[in-house]
Amino acid sequence: MMLVLFYIAAAVAVTSALLALTLSNATHALIFLIVSLLGMAVIFFLLGAPFAAALEVVIYAGAIMVLFVFVVMMLNLDPEAQAQEQSLLSFKYWWGPGLLSGILLAELLVALNTTHHAVGGDAVLPKTVALSLFGPYMLGVELASMLLLSGLVGAYHLGRDFLVRKGDPSS
């Protein structure tokens, strides 16, 4: 049973990753990339890593992809993009991602109903991960925090001209 679920999720993840890197419209490609990350989260869940699956949805498909969507939307502010927005609500633009994420949703419902002993039994639970993370991997956690801090400083420096308004004396 879980074998079938795994292969369906893998097919969804691979298909949408392929579509994400071959489409020409950046917004549509981003939606497919998000679906690919959701498929990956279902795979993680089926592999017995529920914590990683939750982080994949919350941080990857949530936070990191929102940055992408924000930048893509910010770069297309011309008038013809406005006219294009009108046509975005038509069916042909959302049936693909909708179908693929519908498959993932159905799969998740089936997995939650039939295998919740199987996943809870031998899965690597968040407690184990946390004990390992703040035990032997403490140095790695510190290094990751330094990396994130430098990423924050770098992103602020590079995006400074967009954050400060023109003519502001402090710029």
Give me the residues that bind another protein (CB under 8 A), please.
2-3, 6, 10, 13-14, 17-18, 20-22, 26, 29-30, 33, 36-37, 40, 43-44, 46-49, 51-52, 55, 59-60, 63-64, 67-68, 71-72, 74-75, 118-119, 121-124, 128-129, 131-133, 137, 140, 144, 147-148, 150-152, 154-155, 157-159, 161-162
- Alpha helices in the chain, H assignment, sequence order: 2-22, 26-46, 50-55, 65-75, 79-87, 91-114, 116-122, 126-133, 138-158, 160-163
How far from 27 is each of 18, 31, 68, 93, 161, CA to CA, in Å? Answer: 15, 6, 9, 10, 24
Q: Which is nearer to another protein, 22 or 89 (CB)?
A: 22
**Cβ 71 to another protein, closest distance in Å?**
5
What residue has token string 């497919």? 32
Q: 160: which residues sit within 8 A by CB, 6+ positions away?
A: 171
Judged by CB, which is closer to another protein: 102, or 159?
159
| Residue closer to another protein (CB basis): 93 or 133 | 133
Q: Which is nearer to another protein, 71 or 93 (CB)?
A: 71
